[in-house]
Structure 1
Amino acid sequence: MPVRASQLSQGIFKGKSCFSTAELNIDPTVVTPKAVQTLRDFGILVYDRVSMEAVLPMDKRLDRLISHCGPVTGHIFALLAVFNFLFLVFLRWMIPDSIIDVAVDATGPQGAWTNNYSHSKREDEKKQIWYTYRAKCLVKLLRFMFENSVGGQHGQVAGRSLQALTLSLICVSDCWADRSPLHEAAAQGRLLALKTLIAQGVNVNLVTINRVSSLHEACLGRHVACAKALLENGAHVNGVTVHGATPLFNACCSGSAACVNVLLEFGAKAQFEVHLASPIHEAVKRGHRECMEILLANNVNIDHEVPQLGTPLYVACTYQRVDCVKKLLELGASVDHGQWLDTPLHAAARQSNVEVIHLLTDYGANLKRRNAQGKSALDLAAPKSSVEQALLLREGPPALSQLCRLCVRKCLGRACHQAIHKLRLPEPLERFLLYQ
């Protein structure tokens, strides 16, 4: 058990080493006797100086602080000290001792996280265990010194709160500390180091607490060679994180068309039936047109609607990805299918994008469609804006040539882009039907 302040002061005054690792329940290999001796010598100097000073009341302490730092800075420091104490009390109230004990048991050298980690015997893992163990010992030492410096019940509350705060920071760091060297090599694109680790027997499907694999990291970093090496050695191509992201989703997020092709070659699912993070929606959202085209070429539903995002065309209009809008319309995306009753034209009107408005109306968008609030795209356009003018110009009946083009494309279906080339029409008519 930790020694009390009276025992500490008597030991320092008499020159005895009562401030020892045994009495603090700390491993001597962590805090060596030489460090304890140095701390004791320093404590004697501090004690000799502090013992000669009288304990000032709170108003005198504030006056001294103001005289040293100035009136404004002194009051700010005093206010911060009060807030700091209140925050520690609040933290102590929010985090009970049971949670602190669970965190200590989980992150210790014999904890559950350590035992479940298959490569903890390696040198890097030994270092991580050592750092975690040393941090806990330092937390215990900090709590002891803080309690004795403040004293009383408030000191115990503040000491426990300080321990809870520090342990919570350790637990947060441990969420990333379980990233293996294989994760780091994949994230940084170090192919030689990655292959060396695989040859040494490192499990390529090792995941973090958030279920992030090395393949996720390689795809997010656009490292196609690392991704291919992992896949060739048995990495799960459809692994899902706790956030529902697959390696293919990460590849579309980073815009790596090469990674998308490699993943699809190894059997990655381009579209899941469950509501996971959608790769094609992510590619469209970030404007990665090439990744979008690869997914569509692999039979992804071009009108796949995600409840929170809508269809890919709706996402493209929302984020003003003009190239993606144009390509989706060329490939036969439904021009009026958006997010429930909201159409892509509604999204374009909100974003005040005239170019997208022209594209949608050219492909036959219905200007009179109303959303769940009963508003049309014209109602959502800013008054006297270029979007409002563009919509007003398209309100009348379309030209006969426009009606014929829409009718032909509708008859040919979603594959009209390829079918028109097979009709062997005159070049001007073919270009007209293809919006060229």
Structure 2
Amino acid sequence: MNFMDISKIFSLLQPDKEEEDTNTGEKQALREAVHRNDSYTLDQLLRQECYKRFINSRSGWGVPGTPLRLAAAYGHLDCLQVLLAHGADVDSLDIKAQTPLFTAVSHGHLDCVRELLEAGACPSGSVYNNCSPILTAARDGAVGILQELLGHGADPNVKVKLPVWVSNITSFSGPLFLAAVYGHLDCFRLLLLYGADPNYNCTDQYLLARVPQPRTLLEICLHHNCDPEYIQLLIDFGANIYLPSVPLDLDRKNDKGTILLLQARATPRTLLSQARIVIRRAFCQANKPQAIDQLDIPPVLISYLKHQL
């Protein structure tokens, strides 16, 4: 983050002088309507210009935010819909540079997440925040929310924004890593289906310049004693099985994940498996991982390409 980024954040979060000098009664009325989940009163207030002018104003104790952020935090879908219908800024920021979508994801409100995305919310959250909605969903195991985010274009390989001096931590911060170490197999599989790179921390040249030998996902899954299904998914989705250095000591030789990896190393991939990896990789490079359904091929092959067989 450079000086321009910091200046931009402060300019975005700076309250308008006009708002500072205005009585807060109107803003409080909007907040109270949202707090009570009183969408009718909220709608009536926003039909009056004296209230509508504060629709994107931040207020409240703790983390001041807009009425839309408050509705997203409480999961008050009706109020959220009213605010959006009256023109609320779908990507407004709170003082932590978090959007209403990020708030809805953090609180696990799937309906609000879906509504905000349909209204045009950025699935990646704010560029001025170090985290992102998809990282939060992967960590929490919110597979429904993760599906919505990925379906609206969220990057399955996003990383936490951290300074250069903590690059080694960055290598362990992707959605796949979080889904694995927190034990969310369904999220792990979904991320791979949407193009998450099974070698993500071993192909990033920017990272490799600072961390010459980052630990691969295969190593991480073995280290954290993840279920063998994680290892098998990484193998099936084309992870480089020769990257990790697997310790072949007496404590690990009977580990199911290690056995799977060693068997994969000893047995060449079938032509069918290699073809699936290449085809899926091509669709992911085109940012259309779900376009496989549109291929003019037998349904059984489509199911195979989607790892449903």
| Normalised TM-score (structure 2) | 0.70
State the secondary structure of the residue aligned to 1:369: coil
Match for residue 389 of structure 1? 256
Are the aligned partners of 2:105 and 2:113 in contact in 1 as well (CA < 8 Å)?
A: yes
Structure 1 pair 363–214 and aligned structure 2 pair: CA distance change class (3 A)? same
Q: Distance in 2 between matches of 1:235 and 1:292?
A: 24
Output aligned runs, 1:306-325, within 5 Å.
306-307=160-161, 308=170, 310-325=173-188
CA shift digits 1:276-321 (9 cap, x unpaired): 2311212222222222222222222222222456322222113221
From 52, 55, 78, give the equivalent of 1:204. 55
Match for residue 49 of structure 1? none
Q: Distance in 2 between matches of 1:235 and 1:224?
A: 14
Following TM superposition, by how much is the alpha carbon of 1:426 offset from its aligned partner in structure 2, in angstroms?
7.1
Q: Distance in 2 between matches of 1:267 and 1:420?
A: 25
Q: Distance in 2 between matches of 1:188 and 1:357?
A: 47
Identity of aligned pairs, percent?
25
Match for residue 343 of structure 1? 216
Structure 1 pair 262–432 and aligned structure 2 pair: CA distance change class (3 A)? closer
Report whether the alignment pairs 1:297 with 2:165.
Answer: no
Are the aligned partners of 2:137 and 2:145 in contact in 1 as well (CA < 8 Å)?
A: yes
From 203, 222, 243, give the equivalent of 2:75. 222
The one-letter amino acid paired with 1:299 is: G
Q: Distance in 1 between matches of 2:180 and 2:124?
A: 21
Report whether the alignment pairs 1:353 with 2:226.
Answer: yes
The one-letter amino acid paired with 1:186 is: V
CA shift digits 1:337-388 (9 cap, x unpaired): 1495343334323432213223223323234435xxxxx4x459994497x3
Structure 1 pair 192–338 and aligned structure 2 pair: CA distance change class (3 A)? farther
Q: Distance in 1 between matches of 2:157 and 2:144?
A: 18
CA shift digits 1:173-226 (9 cap, x unpaired): xxxxxx834224324423234334434533222213744111111112222211
The one-letter amino acid paired with 2:258 is: L
Structure 1 pair 350–295 and aligned structure 2 pair: CA distance change class (3 A)? same
Are the aligned partners of 1:211 and 1:240 in contact in 2 as well (CA < 8 Å)?
A: no
Are the aligned partners of 1:352 and 1:381 in contact in 2 as well (CA < 8 Å)?
A: no
Match for residue 278 of structure 2? 410
Q: CA RMSD in A?
A: 3.4
Match for residue 238 of structure 1? 91
Output aligned runs, 1:83-162, within 5 Å.
116=20, 118-120=22-24
State the secondary structure of the residue aligned to 2:262: coil
CA shift digits 1:40-95 (9 cap, x unpaired): xxxxxxxxxxxxxxxxxxxxxxxxxxxxxxxxxxxxxxxxxxxxxxxxxxxxxxxx
Are the aligned partners of 1:314 and 1:343 in contact in 2 as well (CA < 8 Å)?
A: no
Following TM superposition, by how much is the alpha carbon of 1:416 offset from its aligned partner in structure 2, in angstroms?
5.8
Structure 1 pair 205–347 and aligned structure 2 pair: CA distance change class (3 A)? same
Unpaired runs of 5+ in structure 1?
1-112, 123-178, 371-375
Are the aligned partners of 2:292 and 2:305 in contact in 1 as well (CA < 8 Å)?
A: no
Following TM superposition, by how much is the alpha carbon of 1:430 offset from its aligned partner in structure 2, in angstroms?
4.7
Relative contact order, CA 8 A, sep 6+: which one is greater?
A: 2
Are the aligned partners of 2:73 and 2:107 in contact in 1 as well (CA < 8 Å)?
A: yes
CA shift digits 1:252-297 (9 cap, x unpaired): 2233333223223333222257352311212222222222222222
Q: Distance in 2 between matches of 1:245 and 1:252?
A: 11
Are the aligned partners of 1:350 and 1:380 in contact in 2 as well (CA < 8 Å)?
A: no
User: Relative to total residues, which structure has the larger helix share, 1 or 2?
Assistant: 1
Q: Distance in 2 between matches of 1:333 and 1:267?
A: 23
Match for residue 183 of structure 1? 31
Q: Distance in 1 between matches of 2:25 and 2:106?
A: 35
Following TM superposition, by how much is the alpha carbon of 1:229 offset from its aligned partner in structure 2, in angstroms?
0.8
Match for residue 37 of structure 1? none
Following TM superposition, by how much is the alpha carbon of 1:247 offset from its aligned partner in structure 2, in angstroms?
0.5
Structure number with larger C-alpha Rg: 1
Match for residue 54 of structure 1? none
Output aligned runs, 1:45-84, within 5 Å.
none
Structure 1 pair 416–408 and aligned structure 2 pair: CA distance change class (3 A)? farther
Q: Distance in 2 between matches of 1:205 and 1:382?
A: 62
Q: Distance in 2 between matches of 1:246 and 1:381?
A: 48
Are the aligned partners of 1:326 and 1:359 in contact in 2 as well (CA < 8 Å)?
A: yes
The one-letter amino acid paired with 1:357 is: I
State the secondary structure of the residue aligned to 2:200: coil
Report whether the alignment pairs 1:266 with 2:113.
Answer: no
Q: Distance in 2 between matches of 1:357 and 1:243?
A: 37
The one-letter amino acid paired with 1:319 is: Y
